[in-house]
């Protein structure tokens, strides 16, 4: 008992001190809470009374905080640059999604021109080929028959050319002979002159009639002399004069008939020549249709070919092989596709314009259009409007727009996603500033306008149309005012620091 009593007494004292310490802290906490409440009450009602007492003070501070003062040295250090606000006509645009497609006019199916066998395939899918490059070889009976017909026609044409040339020479020499005979030369002399010139049957006809004429003239001359001496009777002289008239008439008639017959023969030979030339052209064109537009017909392809039935299929233009549908030694029929070629140097940009966007759209053929691609976000391209469909798709409620675009390097590929910039409203006049002048903070847009004496004023504006470098502005601004387009971020930072300091 003597031990327990002191221990109980000590424990009682410690408990008493602990309770007293806790009560002291609770009292201090209540005092602090009361002080904070009094301070909040004073701040709220005191500030309210201050605002009621001086309502214009905050307005003046807000206006003052919208201005930033800068010295000339500070402007130079901050790189401040200003641009006057201008009013100009703008064309609001709207971005329409589009896709890259092949130009159907530059996509061609290479087909088998005749029934036959593909003897060799000389291309692979994805290969870039040039005009005239071989794609495949095939063998077909119709090719051989077409070439044989062409050879026959060319031989007939050669004969017709020689015949026409022969008749042309005869006509020329006959005209020369008839002109020479008007000079009344001796028969022996004229025969010697025209001995080496082609005259055909006209030589015997004309020269024979001329020889008779000359003989009749000689007999008449002799008869006249003998009749004057009484050796020949008057009757014989008259007979010889009659023979002369007959010979002269026969000679004139022979010349006329020869001239007409020669002209007729010349016309007939020219007709045969023209017909032979047409037949050759027809059969050449038929063979060209079988061999393709790049067949070198002028280089005599019939003789150049090892076999008459063999056909070389060539590329009609520079393109890429997208599909190969045959293999070596495969049999094909006329009209069967052998390969597909596509020229991607010019592509289509196809878009669908919804009817809700048609009101402000006006597209003319040949009009340049701005294009952007998801694959090249930092680059801008230009296409040329081709046509805007006159019909609206009943299901999609949209109108098809097609634009053409050059693709010389092949960077663009069909299936790529693109954006076309289209007019979205009628042109209008607007105040325009560089996009770098427009700033944003706390959901508000504003610019800094240069005032006097190094003062820059923050002016809230609303923005509209933009084209990547300029932006449409509206608000308490007017043309001629200078806005900061370089260094505006420095002014914005200074303004924010001033407001925080206040």
In this predicted model, what pLDDT tens digit does every residue of 244-272 receive, in sequence order?
889 889 999 999 999 999 999 999 999 99
- The answer to whether 118 touches 333, Cβ cutoff 8 Å, is no
pLDDT value, residue 235: 67
Whether residue 500 has pLDDT greater than 80: no
Which one is predicted more confidently, 449 or 240?
Answer: 449
Domain boundaries, the chain: 63-90+428-501, 93-104+344-423, 105-144+293-342, 154-286
Place of tokens 């009013």: 87
Say what the pLDDT of residue 89 is.
85
Q: At what angle are helices 4-53 and 55-65 packed, to 10 degrees? A: 80
Q: Does the structure show a pLDDT above 70 at 115?
A: yes
| Cα distance between residue 207 and residue 230, in whole Å | 34
Backbone φ and ψ of 407, nearest 5°: -140, 60
Residue 464 CA to residue 473 CA, distance in Å, equals 6
pLDDT mean over 195-213: 91
Beta strands in 180-240 (DSSP E): none
| Confidence at residue 60, expressed as pLDDT on a 0 to 100 scale | 36
- The pLDDT, as a whole number, for residue 59 is 35
Single out the residue of 202, 193, 196 nearest to residue 175, CA to CA. 202
> Quick one: CA torsion of 29, 32, 34, 37, rounded to 10 degrees?
-120
Residue, of 480 and 293, whose pLDDT is higher: 480
DSSP 229-296: TTSS-HHHHHHHHHHHHHHHHHHHHHHHHHHHHHHHHHHHHHHHHHHHHHHHHHHHHHHHHHH-TT--
Close Cβ partners of 351 (under 8 Å, ≥ 6 residues apart): 96, 97, 98, 99, 400, 401, 403, 420
Q: What is the pLDDT of residue 90?
A: 82
Average pLDDT, the chain: 80
Does the predicted model carry a pTM greater than 0.85? Answer: no
The per-residue pLDDT for 19 is 55
Per-residue pLDDT tens digits for 76-97: 888 999 999 999 888 777 788 9
* Residue 32: pLDDT over 70: no
pLDDT tens-digit map of 313-333:
888 888 889 999 999 999 999
DSSP 105: G
Cα dist. 25→13, 33, 37 in Å?
Answer: 19, 12, 18
Gap between the Cα atoms of 305 and 293, Å rounded: 17
Spatial distance between the Cα atoms of 27 and 381, rounded to a whole number of angstroms: 78
Closest CA to 424 of 375, 370, 465: 465
User: Of 72, 63, 70, nearest to 502 (Cα)?
Assistant: 63
Cβ within 8 Å of residue 137, ≥6 positions away? 118, 119, 120, 122, 310, 311, 312, 313
SS3 379: strand
Q: Reply yes or no on whether the pLDDT at 230 is more than 80.
A: no
- pLDDT reading at 189 higher than 70: yes
Strand partners, 329: none
Mean pLDDT on 10-26: 52
The answer regarding whether domain 63-90+428-501 maps to CATH 2.40.420.20 reads yes
Tens of pLDDT, residues 126-159: 888 898 899 999 998 888 888 889 999 999 999 9
**Which regions of 368-415 does DSSP assign to beta strands (E)?**
368-373, 376-388, 398-406
What is the average per-residue pLDDT within 385-392?
Answer: 85
Q: Tell me, which fold does domain 105-144+293-342 have in CATH?
A: OB fold (Dihydrolipoamide Acetyltransferase, E2P) (2.40.50)
- DSSP H or E run through 16: helix 4-53
pLDDT at 329: 92
- pLDDT score, position 27: 54
Provide CB contacts within 8 A for 416, sequence distance 6+.
99, 100, 373, 374, 375
What pLDDT was estimated at residue 14?
53
Residue 455 predicted with pLDDT over 60: yes
Q: What pLDDT score was predicted for residue 50?
A: 36
pLDDT score at 289? 80
Q: Looking at domain 93-104+344-423, what is its CATH homologous superfamily?
A: Efflux pump adaptor protein, beta barrel domain (2.40.30.170)
CA distance linking residue 261 with residue 255, whole number of Å: 10
3-state SS, residue 100: strand
pLDDT band at 58 (very low <50, low <70, confident <90, very high): very low
Q: How confident is the model at residue 233 (pLDDT cuts 50, 70, 90)?
A: low
Q: Above 60 in pLDDT, residue 198?
A: yes
Mean pLDDT, residues 434-449 taken together:
91
């Amino acid at each position: 008992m003597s031990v327990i009593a002191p221990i109980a007494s000590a424990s009682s004292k410690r408990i008493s001190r602990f309770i007293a310490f806790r009560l002291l802290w609770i009292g201090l906490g209540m005092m602090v809470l009361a002080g904070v409440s009094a301070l909040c009450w004073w701040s709220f009602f005191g500030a309210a009374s201050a605002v009621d007492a001086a309502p214009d003070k905050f307005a003046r501070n807000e206006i003052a905080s919208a201005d930033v003062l800068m010295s000339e040295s500070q402007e130079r250090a901050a790189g401040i640059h200003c641009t006057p606000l201008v009013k100009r006509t703008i064309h609001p645009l709207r971005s329409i999604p589009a896709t890259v497609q092949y130009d159907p006019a530059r996509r061609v199916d290479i087909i088998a021109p005749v029934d036959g066998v593909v003897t060799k395939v000389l291309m692979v899918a994805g290969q870039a080929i040039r005009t005239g490059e071989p794609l495949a070889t095939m063998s077909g009976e119709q090719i051989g028959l077409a070439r044989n017909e062409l050879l026959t026609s060319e031989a007939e044409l050669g004969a017709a050319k020689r015949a026409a040339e022969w008749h042309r020479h005869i006509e020329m020499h006959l005209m020369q002979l008839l002109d020479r005979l008007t000079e009344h030369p001796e028969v022996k002399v004229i025969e010697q002159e025209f001995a080496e010139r082609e005259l055909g049957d006209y030589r015997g006809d004309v020269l024979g009639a001329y020889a008779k004429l000359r003989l009749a003239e000689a007999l008449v001359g002799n008869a006249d002399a003998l009749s004057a001496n009484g050796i020949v009777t008057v009757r014989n002289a008259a007979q010889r004069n009659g023979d002369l008239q007959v010979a002269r008439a026969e000679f004139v008639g022979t010349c006329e008939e020869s001239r007409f017959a020669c002209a007729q023969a010349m016309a007939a030979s020219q007709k045969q020549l023209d017909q032979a030339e047409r037949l050759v052209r027809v059969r050449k064109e038929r063979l060209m249709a079988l061999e393709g537009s790049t067949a070198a017909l002028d280089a005599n392809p019939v003789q150049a070919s090892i076999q008459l039935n063999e056909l070389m299929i060539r590329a009609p233009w520079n393109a890429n092989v997208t599909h190969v549908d045959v293999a070596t030694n495969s049999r094909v029929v006329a009209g069967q596709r052998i390969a597909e070629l596509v020229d991607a140097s010019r592509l289509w940009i196809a878009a669908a314009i919804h009817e809700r966007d048609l009101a402000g759209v006006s597209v003319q053929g040949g009009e340049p259009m701005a294009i952007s691609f998801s694959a090249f976000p930092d680059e801008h391209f230009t296409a040329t409007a081709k046509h805007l469909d006159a019909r609206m798709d009943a299901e999609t409620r949209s109108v098809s727009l097609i634009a053409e675009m050059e693709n010389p390097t092949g960077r663009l590929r069909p299936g790529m996603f693109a954006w076309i910039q289209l007019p979205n409203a009628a042109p209008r006049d607007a105040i325009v500033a560089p996009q770098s002048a427009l700033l944003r903070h706390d959901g508000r847009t504003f610019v800094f306008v240069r005032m006097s004496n190094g003062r820059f004023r923050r002016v809230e504006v609303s923005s509209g149309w933009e084209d990547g470098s300029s932006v449409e502005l509206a608000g308490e601004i007017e043309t001629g005012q200078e806005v900061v387009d370089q260094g505006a971020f420095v002014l914005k930072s200074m303004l924010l620091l001033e407001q925080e300091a206040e």
